[in-house]
Amino acid sequence: MPPATNTAAAPARTAFLSAYGTLQLRSSSCIAKPGNLAGEILLPGVYCLDAVAKAGTLTLSGPSNAEWIFLVDGALTGTNFSVVMAGGGQACNVYWVPSGGVP
């Protein structure tokens, strides 16, 4: 928790927690994608992932205004894991929402 005297950190923390909560509410419309995601090509959408360590290359393909939301049931971990954007997709429109820690 940020110090009470940090006027920038306190509202940023509140905004982060609000955005995180909003993303978690998207779980009712998610597509289950178990495993490590290696070799997958995913279109824009909301995906539910298990806590299996992610490895290999994941390709996200869609237009520049597309969004990908990954709801992770547990910690988000990766080993030699990379994400490639295709079709104009932007990395700033990719959201990782773990329910556990992020090592």
Query: How many residues belong to the chain?
Result: 103
Four-point Cα dihedral 71, 75, 77, 82, nearest 10: 10
Residue 37, both tokens? 């995601």
Strand order in the sheet with 45-49: 31-32, 45-49, 68-72, 94-98
Residues of the chain whose pLDDT is less than 50? none
Domain ranges of the chain: 29-98
Say how far apart CA 79 and CA 2 lie, in whole Å: 31
Residues 44 and 68: beta-carbon distance below 8 Å: yes
Q: Write down the pLDDT at residue 3.
A: 61
How many helices (H) and strands (E) the chain has is answered by 1, 7
d(CA 1, CA 22): 20
pLDDT at residue 102, rounded to an integer = 55
* Alpha-helical runs (H) found in the chain: 9-24
